[in-house]
Amino acid sequence: MPVCDHCKKKWTWKETVFSKLMLSSSAPCPYCGEKQYASAKTRKRGGIMVLSVIIPMFIVSLFDFSMLFYILFGLIVFFIVMGLSPFYYELSSKEESLW
Ligand SMILES: [Zn+2]
């Protein structure tokens, strides 16, 4: 689980998933209010997570399933990836450059 770089409090799974962090890669800490950024390492892993959604989607698209199956499959993979992401998230008080 992510730990606030400012107050060192651990964010819960729920706080991480429902924070804006997933979408904008920055969110205020629920404990101290300090703005926290996803670390560069985390954002790089985020790219791998995107691939981990796209690759299974690509594999199932080789088979002749119905459209509904693809949509459901995509949603399931997406929620699994989202649900697991708090476990690898690392926070930083500063916005780190990727390179
Ligand atoms: Zn904090």
| CA 91 to ligand 1 center in whole angstroms | 10
Q: How many domains does the chain have?
A: 1
| CA 79 to ligand 1 center in whole angstroms | 26
Write down the pLDDT at residue 93: 92
| CA 76 to ligand 1 center in whole angstroms | 31
The domain containing residue 62 runs over which residues?
13-92
pLDDT of 91 strictly over 90: yes
Walk across the sheet containing 91-92 and list its strands: 26-28, 35-38, 91-92
Residue 64 lies in a domain: yes
Residue 5 lies in a domain: no
Which candidate, 46, 52, 51, 55, places its Cα nearest to that of 23? 46
Tell me the pLDDT tens digit for each residue of 13-63. 999 988 877 777 789 999 999 999 989 888 888 788 788 888 888 888 888
Tell me the pLDDT tens digit for each residue of 15-26. 998 887 777 778
Write down the pLDDT at residue 99: 66
Residue 23 lies in a domain: yes
